[in-house]
Amino acid sequence: MGVEGIGARVVRKEDKRFITGKGRYVDDIKLLGMTHAHFIRSPHAHAKVKGIDSSAALKMPGVVAVLTGQQLVDDKVGNLICGWAITSKDGSPMKMGAWPAMAPETVRFVGQAVAVVIADSKNLARDAAEAVVVDYEELPAVADVHAAIKAGAPQLHPEAPGNQVYDWVIGDEGATDAAFAKAANVVKLDVTNNRLAPNAMEPRAAIADYDAAEEHFTLYTTSQNPHVARLVLSAFYNIAPEHKLRVIAPDVGGGFGSKIFIYPEEMVALWASKKVGRPVKWTGDRTEAFLTDAHGRDHVTHAEMAFDANNKIIGLKVKTYANFGAYMSLFSSSVPTYLYATLLSGQYNIPAIHAEVIGVYTNTTPVDAYRGAGRPEASYLIERLMETAARQLKVDPAQLRRTNFITQFPHQTPVIMAYDTGDFNASLDAAMKAIDYAGFAARKAQAKSEGKLRGIGVSCYIEACGIAPSKAVGSLGAGVGLWESAEVRVNPVGTIEVLTGSHSHGQGHETVFAQLISDRLGIPISQVSIVHGDTDKVQFGMGTYGSRSAAVGLTAILKAVEKVESKAKKIAAHQLEASEADIVIENGEFKVTGTDKAIALPMVALAAYTAHNLPDGMEPGLKESAFYDPSNFTFPAGTYICELEVDPGTGKTSFVNFVAADDFGRLINPMIVEGQVHGGLVQGIGQALLEHAIYDANGQPVTASFMDYAMPRADDVPSFNLSHTTTLCPGNPLGIKGCGEAGAIGASAAVINAITDAIGKNNLEMPATPDRVWRTIHAA
């Protein structure tokens, strides 16, 4: 590796603008003549919209327009779509209720928009919104999955009788039943995976600007995938054809999945901009984020694991109810199915698995992918089951895992996934050593003498990342391919621009992607610019989620660089009067191997653009593009072990140590990888201890601000002890697996396993609030 090449801990190029206050987020942008939108949102979880009277509001100062859901329908703006078709076990397609961007007739969750006020300022829009009178007829509402599927429950959509979206199955039910029939031991567990609010620190925002002369729209938006936004806005929402719509996602303040989706506010802003003939800006506040950003998780699961007499797992049965909220968000259908149940084998040899997932509508905010998306739910379930089994079978939890690890690769699980490589013993060993697992018993005894309950918890996670092979996901119902594109432009002076369809909203692409170029071409990263987030600049791309930017996006860049290198070598060979096969690239120079003849990259570039002396028939220029479609998912895996203490008086948990041993394959920038793990771990710990998006029985949200929804703060969490074990991913040339979600996937089980170890009681739901832990300690 060079000083700035692959494997180097390079500080980030993008940081200077962020630490000096010069980042450019959507809300920082002002356009001439810009108006401001304020949405009028339903206070009811379920109601008929009987009428909207905006006459008083329209007379207020600075009010430009009040637009309603019926006008959207009249203008034939499309309903929101769900892009992944899931088929129920009876062969029927999933049941989709219509989701208009503003509700003309029925609202189905608190916060759903019914109208929008456009005014000269944000304050004036909000003032006027209070003068709009919406006549609602309240309907009975339901928020809980079990309540929603009961006979006689309030019905959300006529298209979905019984509020059921689908009843989907995977695996071999007969083989699984047979395994259970011969089991020596069966371990049973009921688990709730708590609903979370993603809470990227930057609230969502959009600015839409319609140019009537060109019939062209520009949308600045907080998106993880601007090209997908443009595609969906064009193909399904009838906003504008793609060549008449430019989508720009500038600096974006965190996403965690929540900014994948194309939201009603973006659609309405575009449509309204054309209607009022001025740019329209909408910036959400935190409460709107709680009410309308897609939530995550929210599963209720019963699972049973069968063991033989040697403590080998022989079967797994899972039944999960997934709460989708009031509507099916863009990729929601895939989360509790192909992103969840396909990971139920965990790190273990499980010969027979059967899982059933029932998707349910409720009068709550729609649920979709949130950091990990399905995989945290699977990992949490399996790792809670393993811990429960160890306690029931009276074996060491680490040893029980070791007994069941997959050790031969590739490994075909019974639930679609074929793990390509891994070394699960290595990461378990590394984590156990880091935390001094062997010395825990003595530490626990010492803590007991000081009145504290100490516990240790292991979590061995695996995930499927590098999303995803297009053909495979297509066969499973995905509406899009999940390749990535790249273009590498060598300028005549030898500086380089890399255009990518990946989008950085904190991940550090401007640095990491430049490191690959530096590694290959031997030039400093300061000579490389990464261009992303603008559909006018980058031709197409699928964006950033599912830990895919390095494994898929960077591989696409590599493919384009290889083409650049190939052409540059031809030019260099021609200039140096050598054979192309003898040209090697070293330190920014093209050299004739074994000689002192060399030509620097800028001279090769200049030659390509002057075209005075190119090989016969060669086109001028030095610019190449590539599309890369992965052949398989990647499978990052690792072990997290957490040691903590519980205060028996208050039930409060304090961390003593938290170690992580991850296998992400090749690391491009270990500093950035560690940062991704830290952030993921805290989101996992947040789920385990603090976070819960709660609704009352009538669908009223109880946690709609940071006053009620407990976000992890610096003093809630520990510093971490990280290490890496490495098996290179054979599926891509760089050997990369992806690191963006691991922490969020693996951490929560480690925490709950440790608390339940500390208090000596196995049943404890997340979040393990002090009240809940105290109650569990003192329960009979």
Residues 670-689 that bind another protein (CB under 8 A): 671-672, 674-675, 678-683
Give the residue with the Cβ less far from another protein, 538 or 672: 672
Nearest-approach distance from CB 720 to another protein, in angstroms: 6
481-520 binders of another protein (CB under 8 A): 505-508
400 binds another protein (CB under 8 A): no
State yes or no: residue 201 binds another protein (CB under 8 A). Answer: yes
Q: Compose the 147-186 pattern: x for residues touching another protein by CB under 8 A, - for all others.
A: ----------------------------------------
Of the pair 243, 775, the CB lying nearest another protein is at: 775
Give the shortest CB-7-to-another protein separation in angstroms: 16
Residue 11 in the binding site for another protein (CB under 8 A): yes
625: contact with another protein by CB under 8 A: no
Q: Are 150 and 87 in contact (CB under 8 A)?
A: no
The residue range among 137-145, 176-184, 235-243, 769-777 that interacts with another protein, by the rule CB under 8 A, is 769-777
Measured CA to CA, the distance from residue 323 to residue 366 in angstroms comes to: 9
Residue 302 near residue 291, CB atoms below 8 Å: no
Q: Does 593 sit near another protein (CB under 8 A)? A: no
- In the complex, the smallest distance separating the C-beta of residue 85 from another protein, rounded to whole angstroms, is 32
Using CB under 8 A as the binding rule, whether residue 145 contacts another protein is answered as: no
Angle at the Cα of 221 from the Cα atoms of 216 and 222, rounded to 5 degrees? 165
Site for another protein in 286-345 (CB under 8 A): 286-287
35 contacts another protein (rule: CB under 8 A): no
| 25 makes contact with another protein (CB under 8 A) | yes
Question: Looking only at residues 518 through 577 of this chain, which bind another protein when binding is defined by CB under 8 A?
Answer: none
Look up residue 601 and give its amino acid: L
- Least separation in angstroms between CB 707 and another protein: 4
Q: Which of 314, 353, 573, 717 binds another protein (CB under 8 A)?
A: 717
- Name the CA radius of gyration of the chain, rounded: 27
Residues within window 202-261 making contact with another protein, judged by CB under 8 A: 202-203, 251-254, 256
Rounded CA-CA distance 718/119 in Å is: 46
Residues 269-288 that bind another protein (CB under 8 A): 285-287
Among 20, 310, 408, 613, binds another protein (CB under 8 A): 20
The minimum distance between CB 42 and another protein, in angstroms, equals 17
List of E strands, 483-527:
484-490, 496-500
Q: What is the rounded distance in angstroms from the CA atom of residue 772 to the CA atom of residue 780? A: 14
Element (H, E) at 628: strand 623-628
Site string for another protein, 642-671 (x = CB under 8 A): -------xxxx------------------x
Whether residue 173 contacts residue 372, with contact meaning beta carbons closer than 8 Å, is answered with: no
- Residue ranges of alpha helices (H) inside 435-488 are 440-449, 470-475
- Residue 744 beta carbon to another protein: minimum distance, rounded to whole angstroms: 10
User: Tokens standing for 518?
Assistant: 């530096």
Of these, 692, 745, 764, 766, which contacts another protein (CB under 8 A)? Answer: 692
- Are 238 and 208 spatial neighbours (Cβ–Cβ below 8 Å)? no
Residue with tokens 């694991």: 305
Nearer to another protein, 256 or 324 (CB): 256
Position among 189, 272, 709, 739 found at the interface with another protein (CB under 8 A):
709
- Per CB under 8 A, does 3 bind another protein? no
Nearer to another protein, 36 or 46 (CB): 36
Which one among 127, 266, 519, 741 touches another protein, defined by CB under 8 A? 127
C-beta of residue 624 within 8 angstroms of C-beta of residue 513:
no
Count interface residues toward another protein (CB under 8 A): 76
**From the centroid of its chain, how far is CA 269?**
25
Nearer to another protein, 6 or 289 (CB): 289
Separation CA 280–CA 282 (nearest Å): 7
- Does residue number 706 form part of the binding site for another protein (CB under 8 A)? yes
Pairing, β 721-724 against β 653-663: parallel
Binding another protein (rule: CB under 8 A), the pick from 690, 729, 749, 754 is: 690
Number of H helices and E strands in the chain, helices first, is 20, 28
Q: Is residue 694 near another protein by the rule CB under 8 A?
A: yes
Contact assessment for residue 357 and residue 320, using Cβ atoms and an 8 Å cutoff: yes
d(CA 389, CA 316): 12
Nearest approach in angstroms of CB 250 to another protein is: 12
Q: Indicate the pairing of strand 598-600 with strand 453-462.
A: unpaired
Identify which of 83, 111, 105, 110 has the alpha carbon closest to the alpha carbon of residue 158. Answer: 105
Q: Among 14, 304, 308, 423, which residue sits at the site for another protein (rule: CB under 8 A)?
A: 14
Is 720 a binding residue for another protein by CB under 8 A? The answer is: yes
730 interacts with another protein by CB under 8 A: no
- Sheet with 598-600: list strands edge to edge: 583-586, 589-592, 598-600
Pair 253, 236: CB distance under 8 Å: no
Specify the residue for token string 């008086």: 649
CB closer to another protein out of 164 and 769: 769
Q: Smallest distance, Å, CB 716 to another protein?
A: 8
Q: Tell the smallest beta-carbon distance from residue 4 to another protein (Å).
A: 15
For residue 62, the tally of other CB atoms under 10 A from its CB is 16
Minimum distance from CB of 490 to another protein (Å)? 28
How far apart are CB 715 and another protein at their closest, in Å?
A: 4
Tell me how far the alpha carbon of residue 765 is from its chain's centroid: 23
Please report, as a single letter, which amino acid is at residue 236: F
Residue 501 contacts residue 484 (beta carbons within 8 Å)? yes
DSSP states of 96-158: PPP--SS-SSEE-STT-EEEEEEESSHHHHHHHHTT-EEEEEE-----SHHHHTSTTPPP--T
Helix, strand, coil percentages for the chain (3-state, nearest 5): 30, 25, 45
Query: By CB under 8 A, is residue 199 in contact with another protein?
Result: yes
Which of 16-24, 170-178, 240-248, 605-613 is the region at the interface with another protein (rule: CB under 8 A)? 16-24
Interface region with another protein, contact rule CB under 8 A, candidates 82-90, 379-387, 594-602, 697-705: 697-705
Q: Which is nearer to another protein, 20 or 613 (CB)?
A: 20
CB of 251 to another protein, least distance (A): 7
Q: Give the span between the Cα atoms of 115 and 126, in whole angstroms.
A: 12
Cα–Cα dist 209/197, whole Å: 30
Under rule CB under 8 A, residue 386 binds another protein: no
**Smaller CB separation from another protein, 259 or 489:** 259
What is the largest distance, in Å, between two alpha-carbon atoms of the chain? 88
Token pair listed for 370: 């949130």
- Name the one residue in this structure whose structure tokens are 């709730």: 192
- Work out whether 4 is an interface residue with another protein (CB under 8 A): no
Query: Residue 711, interface with another protein (CB under 8 A)?
Result: yes
Q: Is 713 in the site for another protein (CB under 8 A)?
A: yes
Minimum distance from residue 15 beta carbon to another protein (Å) = 4
Interface map 571-590 toward another protein (x if CB under 8 A): --------------------
Q: In whole angstroms, what separates CA 679 from the centre of its chain?
A: 13
Whole-angstrom distance, CA of residue 660 vs CA of residue 428: 9
What is the closest distance, in whole angstroms, from the C-beta atom of residue 742 to another protein in the complex? 12
52 or 252: whose CB is closer to another protein? Answer: 252
Which tokens sit at 662? 């991850």
